Amino acid sequence: MKTRTEKYEMIVIGVSAGGTEALGKILPELPENFPLPVTVVQHMHPSQDAFLSRYLNERCAVTVKEASDKEPVQPAHVYFAPANYHLLIEENRTFSLSVDEKVHFSRPSIDVLFESAVDAYGSCLVGIILTGANRDGASGLKLIKQSGGMAIIQDPATASSCYMPKSAVDAVDADYILPLDDIGPFLREKFSPVSRQATR
């Protein structure tokens, strides 16, 4: 039987204002052999290029890239939603891109990613809400929690913009509310192969 830690198969992250700093602290903590894929929606300008994923790829042991339509999900990868596209995860664990209407004034939308990830991964999902200036992601994180997944929220006191994590705290009975500096080490220690071995 799998332990609670071993059951998880995907991490989804939602972030907006202040995301470059937050992700720049969290993602470099992940080891090269990190066993889970990570998928990120960062709110951005519709014409923004892939600078953020390139910037983080140079600083991370895992591969960081923009997701492509129909691309299979792989471990030890961090996937970003491209600018001006909703990013969804299909039930066969591949990505799809959509230009459907904005959700919470955003495309990509965090809720769209989170809700599709629940359809694909069910209770085997970890959802994280970080700094941001609107409430996108709160209902998606609540769905992850209701489906048996793990809900993590950045402590609003450590957020560059506290509205998004505060909205999530109000909506979700989170498993963890963590300061920004603690989230990367938490993911590394909780889900890396070494920590899994130690739990047996």
Residue 95 belongs to some domain of the structure: yes
Residue 21: partners with Cβ closer than 8 Å, 6 or more residues away: 131, 160
What percentage of the chain exceeds 90 in pLDDT?
86
Task: Look at residue 26 and tell me whether its pLDDT is greater than 60.
Answer: yes
Residue 173 belongs to some domain of the structure: yes
Mean pLDDT of 128-154: 97
Residue 5 belongs to some domain of the structure: no
CA distances from 164 to 1, 87, 153, 168 (A): 36, 19, 9, 6
Residue 1 belongs to some domain of the structure: no
Start-to-end C-alpha separation, the chain: 11
Residue 130: partners with Cβ closer than 8 Å, 6 or more residues away: 13, 14, 15, 18, 19, 22, 23, 26, 154, 159, 164, 165, 180, 183
| pLDDT tens, residue by residue, 83-104 | 999 999 999 999 999 999 998 8
**Per the structure, how many domains does the chain have?**
1
Residue 177 belongs to some domain of the structure: yes
- What is the per-residue pLDDT for 3? 53
Task: Look at residue 39 and tell me whether its pLDDT is greater than 80.
Answer: yes
What is the extent of the structural domain holding 154? 10-198
Task: Look at residue 45 and tell me whether its pLDDT is greater than 90.
Answer: no
User: In terms of residues, how long is the chain?
Assistant: 200
Residue from 86, 111, 136, 167 carrying the catalytic annotation: 136
Residue 42: partners with Cβ closer than 8 Å, 6 or more residues away: 15, 16, 19, 23, 52, 80, 81, 108
- What is the per-residue pLDDT for 5? 58
Residue 2 belongs to some domain of the structure: no
Catalytic residue flag (residue 16) = yes
Residue 109 belongs to some domain of the structure: yes
**Could you tell me the CATH number of the domain that includes residue 90?**
3.40.50.180
Residue from 43, 77, 86, 104 carrying the catalytic annotation: 43
- What is the per-residue pLDDT for 198? 38
Q: Which band of pLDDT confidence, cut at 50, 70 and 90, is reported for residue 81?
A: very high
Catalytic residue flag (residue 43) = yes
Task: Look at residue 29 and tell me whether its pLDDT is greater than 90.
Answer: yes
Task: Look at residue 199 and tell me whether its pLDDT is greater than 50.
Answer: no
Residue from 16, 109, 116, 161 carrying the catalytic annotation: 16
Task: Look at residue 195 and tell me whether its pLDDT is greater than 60.
Answer: no
Residue 3 belongs to some domain of the structure: no
CA-CA distance, 17 to 73, in Å (whole number)?
26
| Greatest pairwise CA separation for the chain in angstroms | 47
| pLDDT tens, residue by residue, 180-192 | 999 999 999 999 8
CA-CA distance, 88 to 73, in Å (whole number)?
11
